Structure 1
């Protein structure tokens, strides 16, 4: 009886969360831009001041799509803004709330999960280098780091999750641990381009508003420390639009990106990606047919 009650209670919570997310989504004013990048920045700025809250994807007993437009960590902020931008870019009629809601759900799932399919905890793209690799393969974005001034090609072993399992209770399951370890092994074998902290100023003129900025971790075993969006300020410099744990909310950095990374010694540089415009969605493709 207790298990039945618990199951029903969790189901009610799930429905309530979905209803809240739908209400929040439909209350938004989605302002498109002339380009996908402009749309991304317009949408991203709508969340300025929203609180930073960690671990919002880990509140359910089973893996499911979590939509929360009221609070973010750096990853959920980025994924939410990108999914909204892709949905807005693809739908001519942005006032069709049902179709827009479906497109947003589809893109968020596609961005967040390997092959765009939810299949347990390990199907979520936990490492951002894995996120980048998978979403580039899916055609949603392009890694442009190698094209930018000051970039270097390196490799970095990844092992953070399996060596810090106390932070990831799901890894107590041997099958999940094995899946994450396999992902780490795969990532550890690949080389990639990045721009060291001291070279970011050299690349700044080539950065574009709406670029996805992934900040590399200086510590061993971890690939990315933080993520956000490039935004050009009135001073002409590129700053970072992001969900900041230090400031506790979504903000634009007070300082240019190059200075921000240099001053954070736990960061070693950046990788950069750009969204690719996708062919317009049809009603059938939104519904997954």
Structure 2
């Protein structure tokens, strides 16, 4: 199975490179303000390009502290396009944005806006191919699976002592009427149903929340919170922060309405959410040289 997957990725690489190099402007949605934020970020972080990916991920998160939380920012077009929004973030787009920007800074060809577009496309879409709504990595365990395969992140959950995470996903098809791109599109719904079955059939692992302080999470790691039942896989995600030798959590908060760091250690934050069972841990990786 691993050999089949390896050859599939090899077959996808030329298509990915083509898609990245020739993604037309009509497929990208952004504003002048987004480009200005990108330019400001590059000016501040280019001198730090030799720093580790974890350092860049962490400090990129710091850069966005106070940015307003806004949900559904990727659902603003009738057909699927690459949405670039550095002005407003939710928990997923915050994580993706920080990872894409950190990798762009380390791009050997220079941290251009086009390079950022390429990185964001690789991260957000299955094997970097923006085809339609179903090619987006909607479920975060699918996001992890894909980005781990692509050497964009490294899933450390098992290495850090993770245990089996029995789960299934069906939220998108079960609640299709709440998804504007699914409710009237039987073809998309059928494809998402197939994807949900593939995700549910995979082996998953998680770190129980009562062990999170002892497993060696590093600053700048991505942490994704697991949930008990409900047809979901991950309920929230963000970036690990260490303060006074305790693990904290930087995230785009729907409660705080902005990007912020938890006021309490991550363990206490997790314990305050009854449905949360623990988390998965991912390490950001630099682009291949």
Q: What TM-score, normalized to structure 2?
A: 0.85
Q: Which residue of 1 aligns with 2:30?
A: 17
CA offsets 1:171-196 (integer angstroms, 9 cap, x no match): 12011001110111001111111011
Map 1:108-257 onto structure 2 (within 5 A).
Answer: 108-149=120-161, 151-172=162-183, 173-203=185-215, 206-233=216-243, 235-257=244-266
Matched length: 260
1:246-279 C-alpha deviation (Å, 9 max, x unpaired) = 1000001111111111111121110011112222
Q: Which is higher, the Rg of structure 1 or of structure 2?
A: 1
SS of the residue corresponding to residue 67 of structure 2 reads coil
Cα 1:179/1:13, change in 2 over 3 Å: closer
2:29 and 2:81 in contact (8 A); partners too: no
CA distance in 1, matches of 2:166, 2:145: 14
**4+ aligned runs moved over 4 Å, structure 1:** 12-16
The answer (yes or no) to whether the contact 2:61–2:98 under 8 Å persists in 1 is yes
Q: Write the distance in 2 (CA, Å) between the matches of 1:40 and 1:201.
A: 20
- Describe the SS at the equivalent of 2:87: coil
Give ranges in structure 2 of 5+ residues lacking alignment. Answer: 1-24
2:107 corresponds to: 90
SS at match of 1:225: strand
- Structure 1 equivalent of residue 288 of structure 2: 279
Segment of structure 1 superposing worse, 27-36 or 53-62: 27-36
Aligned residue number for residue 287 of structure 1: none
CA distance in 1, matches of 2:123, 2:263: 29
Write out per-residue CA displacement over residues 81-116 of structure 1, whole angstroms, 9 at most, x where no aligned residue. Answer: 1000001122475xxxxx521111100000000110
Residue of structure 2 aligned with 1:72, choices 89, 107, 111? 89
Distance in 2 (alpha carbons) for counterparts of 1:14 and 1:110 = 14
Distance in 1, Cα, partners of 2:287 & 2:174? 38
Deviates more, 1:268-277 or 1:223-232: 268-277
Query: Are the equivalent residues in 1 in contact too, given 2:213–2:247 (CA < 8 A)?
Result: no
Q: CA deviation at 1:54?
A: 0.1
Aligned to 1:7: none
- Rounded to whole Å, the distance in 2 between the matches of 1:118 and 1:266 is 33
